Amino acid sequence: MVDATGIQDPKERLAAFGGVTEWAAKQGDVANAQVIAVNQDSTGAQILITPKSGPDDEATTTLLQNLRDGQAGIESQTKTTVGVTGVTAIQTDVSDALTSALPILAIPASPPRSASCCRSSRRSVRR
């Protein structure tokens, strides 16, 4: 998403949307980047970025991080506010939040030697 409410000239807003789209297209692992919607007063645009890799691929995660890392720079260049969102971005954020919230479990490599609770008792069965 690109917010260009701070740009008064409509032509400059459209040029800013193009600038953000070009920046996104130059990132590694991008198959396509295009403006897919502009709001009625042309102050906001939705840009669809399609990665070459799949949603669970490490390259897509790297692309997502690169887009977020570059936000400040492209915002400064285009005088816009850029937000990275979508299903893959949201799933990545939720997964990261859940992973960081999970406690670290210590599992012994082998059971303790006095694990009598774990021994099975065998009864002979007569046939």
Are 71 and 82 a contacting pair, CB within 8 Å? yes
Q: Phi/psi at 97 (nearest 5 deg)?
A: -65, -45
Please list, in sequence order, all residues whose beta carbon lies within 8 angstroms of the beta carbon of residue 34, skipping any fewer than 6 positions away: 21, 47, 48
- Domain 2-99 belongs in CATH node 3.30.70: yes
Q: In the predicted model, is pLDDT for residue 75 greater than 60?
A: yes
Q: What is the mean pLDDT of residues 12-33?
A: 97
Instruction: Match 């937000």 to its residue by tokens.
Output: 83
Whether this prediction's pTM lies above 0.85 is answered by no
Q: What is the mean pLDDT of residues 48-76?
A: 94
What is the model's pLDDT at position 11?
Answer: 96
Instruction: Match 């303790």 to its residue by tokens.
Output: 112
Q: What is the mean pLDDT of residues 12-37?
A: 97
